[in-house]
Amino acid sequence: MKSDASPTARALLALELIQSTPGISADRLADKLGVTDRAARRYVAIVREAGIPVESVRGPYGGYRLGRGLRLPPLMFSANEALSLVMAVLDGHHDAADAADPVGSALGKIVRALPEQVAAQAEAVRRTTAPAPDRAAARPDPATTAALVQACANHRQVRLDYRSEAGSEWVTEVDPWAVVVRHGRWYLLCRSHGADARRAYRIDRVRSVDVLDGTFRPPVDLDAVATLEEHLAAGWEYDTEVVIDAPVDTVAPCLPPALGRFEPLDAGTTRLVGSTSNPVWYAEQLVRIPAAYRIVRCPEVRRAARTLGQRLLAAGDPDTAPGAMHQPS
C-alpha cells in the first residue's frame, strides 16, 4: 500500500486481514500493512472505535480476531466471473491498480477474498494490463453520484448547481428519475421544475446537490436509456434547426441521436430539430450528412460551420495548405 493512503483505508485493510486470518499477530499485521507495530495497533483501535469488536489474545499463540456475533459474508466467484469483473474495472477505471484509489482498494479486497488459484489469475490481469485512457469518458464525483442515485431510489426532489460545457451556470430543481451511464459519461435523467420538461444533465458538471423535502412519482414504465437518447438533444443553450435535402431514412443512420429529432418535410426533405451546448461539435457532426443541408436556426452553429468549411476547403487546395510554396506570378 502507498505511504499516502489514508488512516481509514489502512484501518479497513487491517479489518480485512483480521477477518481473513483469525489470530493474526500484531507484528504480522504490521508487516502486511507495511507499518510499525505501534501504527498497526492504532489502526486496530480505529476499527474498534467504528463499533466492530476485535478481540486480542496475548501470548505466543495469541493475536487479533473478530469478536463473536460479527461475521462478514464470503465472496464466491467463479474464475470466469472474477476475471470478467477485473477486466470490466480496468476497462472503465484507470486507477484500478492503485491501492490508495477507492476503486483500486475495492478491487484489491475482492481479489484477496478469492481462492488462491483464481486470485492469482485475476491479480496477473490487474497488474499487467495497461488500458488506454478513454478521452471521452468523464467520471463524476462519487459523492455527488451517490447522492443522486439515493435521491432517485427514494423519489426525493433535488436542487442542482450546474455548469454547462459552454461555461454557463445555473441552479435548478428537478425530479431525478434515473442515473444512466452512456459511452463513459454519467447522466441524470430528470424532470426540470422550471422548464416543466425532461432534461438530461452530465453528472460530472453538477457542482453541488441539495436533497429537498419534496417527493415525486417517476413516469410509469420509464425506459431510462431510450429516454436519455431521445432527450440528449433537448434543453441546451443553443436551439438548432437544419433542413436536409434527403429523406429521413438516408439521413438518420449517419448522425448521432444526440443531434436532435428528425421530421420528414416531404418525400425528399428532412428537418433536424435539436439543441446543443457546443456549436463547434454540432457543426462537425453535420459534415457526415451525405446531402446538401442548410442551417436555418442557430447563428452560432452557422459560424462554426462556416469556419469548418473554410478549413476543409483549404485542406483540399495544396496552394493554401500550411507551408505550401507559392511561385511568384
pLDDT tens for the 329 residues of the chain, in order: 344 456 767 787 888 888 878 888 888 888 888 888 888 888 888 888 877 888 888 766 678 888 765 555 555 566 666 656 666 665 565 555 566 666 666 667 777 766 666 667 667 766 666 556 666 667 788 788 888 988 998 999 999 999 987 788 999 999 999 988 877 788 999 999 998 988 889 999 999 999 999 999 999 888 888 888 777 777 778 999 999 999 999 999 999 888 888 999 988 899 999 888 899 999 999 999 999 999 999 999 999 999 999 999 988 877 765 555 444 44
* Confidence (pLDDT) at 83: 58
What residue has cell string 429537498? 212
Angle, vertex CA 255, rays to CA 252 and CA 261, nearest 5: 60
Are 293 and 243 in contact, with CB atoms under 8 Å apart? yes
CB-based contacts of 137-141 (< 8 A; 24+ apart in sequence):
137/92, 137/183, 137/184, 137/185, 138/184, 138/185, 138/186, 138/202, 138/204, 139/93, 139/184, 139/186, 139/204, 140/186, 140/202, 140/203, 140/204, 140/206, 141/204
Gyration radius of the chain's alpha carbons: 28
Residue 235 CA to residue 166 CA, distance in Å, equals 13
Please give the sequence-ordered ranges of beta strands (E in DSSP) within 167-233, or none if there are none.
169-182, 185-192, 197-202, 206-215
Q: Cβ–Cβ contacts within 10 Å for residue 287, how many?
A: 12
Residue 270 CA to residue 149 CA, distance in Å, equals 38
Q: What are the angstrom distances between the C-alpha of 48 and each of 61, 73, 171?
A: 22, 19, 42
| Side chain identity at residue 44, one-letter code | V
Predicted structure pTM score: 0.51
* Confidence (pLDDT) at 173: 97
* Confidence (pLDDT) at 118: 63
